[in-house]
Structure 1
Amino acid sequence: MGTAEIKARAISGFVGIGAIPLLALAGAISLLSIQADASDSAATTHIIGAGLCGGAILLLLRAFITLQPNESAVLTFLGKYSGTLSQDGFWLVNPFALRKRVTRRLVTQEIGPLKVNDAAGNPVEIGMVLTWRVAQASRAVFDVENYQAYVTAQGETALRSLASRHPYDEEEYRHALAERQADGPLRQEGAVLSLRDGGDRLTATLAADLRDRMELAGLIVQEARLSHLAYSPEIAATMLRKQAASAVIAARRTITSGAVAIVEQALNELEDRLGGVLDAERKAAMISNLLVVLVGDRDVTPVVNTGTLYS
């Protein structure tokens, strides 16, 4: 359950400021009274009184504490947790209590980049920017050894877990699954959430995982977003060439599909205007020429045939 946070007892520090002159005056009067009383016992009493006034002043000075906005002080007395002071201002607390200051301001921390294997087994580099703050100072101090190191460790763990559950690229992941299956066809259905295209859904998953982890230490995760994502250097060049080849193939497929539709439309319009059906050889020649013009990535040089198709 963790250490439950309780409110520390404190009074305004200005009360102590007002008491210091009175104690100093009482101590001075005790010292001046030593010369007036001739007896040794009276002198001893005055000296003890002056000493007590001086000790009280020192304790008051030790009891003062000033807190800035969004700052807390965790107090312990004789090894026991005595409360947390979270109200900013000038306060007077138990002078014998040990104090641990904890900031409650937002902290932006960059974690990574880390080298992790994604769901397809490819090594990737991934990093994130984590924004968090302390919500319960007592749990951050007593429930973990070092809450800042705890944030770093849990952030790296959550980042590695996310990367291992999702592929870098959906298409690459499907190809990897197909190669692993002995019978060939891919059995998995439905869309795969990839690291590259996950966007806000991955961010929400990562933030939810981190919130569960950080709650144990009294911390709140404000935001967690991926800041770095790339293939590991040893395979980056190969994967980029593969992605470029896939893009070229997809573009060629689109161009070819459009060219076939244009050729079909052109043949139909020619037959309608000529009022007859072209023979198979003429169709083949026309299709070949049109596809060269439409699919080729270079300008073509037309050749004018002055004879017949057969000579």
Structure 2
Amino acid sequence: MDQDVEVRKRPVHNTHQQGWNPVTVVLVGAVLVASCIAWYFNSQLAISHVALQQLTAASHEKQTQHAKAMSIAKHRIEGLELAQKTSSEKEKTLEGQVMQLHEELTNAKHALHEEHVKSLRIHRDNVDLHRKLKIKSEELKVLEAQTGQFETEMNRLTKAIHKVQGEVQHDVDAATDYEVLYKKQKEQQQRQHKGTNHAASKKSNSGFKESVVSQASDVSEGSTAVIRGHGKVQPHSHDAWQQHGARLEAEKVISAGKEAGVTAAVVDGNAVVDDSSTEEEAATVASEGDENSDFSEEELNDAV
């Protein structure tokens, strides 16, 4: 029965109709359009699939590059952080050095100021010393002039002293000669006057003895004044010519005394006369000469 129903439902072709059925045409057109759309979308899908694959590959590449860039950036950031840390430490170190340098600079400024003050003080002292040196140089010039005058005066005094010392030495030599002569004549007269004529010669020559003693004492005083001054002429002494004249006069008197039998001499600046009476009288005369002498044997040695 189903087959009958199905058969009944089948369309019956009209043999009398010619051409295409519009429905069929629409259906066929729809199928063609759908096929075209399907092919278009299929081709677009393939293109899209290729593009997706390319985009996926590009995305993977981009992700890889991004990962590399991120790794590089991470390493760079770590390096920058390390550099920043190092820079911070260096900055702290530099700040400490800057503080130390600032302190040293401050100390150097203070030291420079002190040195400047010291240099000013030294300059002032140098100016004072220069002024004092100039004054001292002027004083030195004056002292040099005075020294020249003093040396001239000293040369003059030295010449005078040498002259006086020569005269004194001559007097000392003469006194020594007189002493030797006195001893010799004393011995000779002791031998000659041991006889009976001792009293007569004593009486006849007593007056002449006093004159010889007086003149010899004057000569002794003149020599004593020169010798006592150690070569310097004293205010009460005779000058050189007067001393020489007195010395000649004493020699004349002594020569006259010899002719008369009276021995006289100037011994160490003392007037000594011997009339050959006795040794006691000669000692008395010598002691009188010692009392009239103005200098000692030590002073005579110092003068020589």
Whose helix proportion is higher, 1 or 2?
A: 2
TM-score by length of 2: 0.26
Whose relative contact order is higher, 1 or 2, with alpha carbons under 8 Å and at least 6 apart? 2
Work out which of the two has the higher radius of gyration on C-alpha atoms and give 1 or 2: 2
TM-score by length of 1: 0.26
Whose strand proportion is higher, 1 or 2?
A: 1
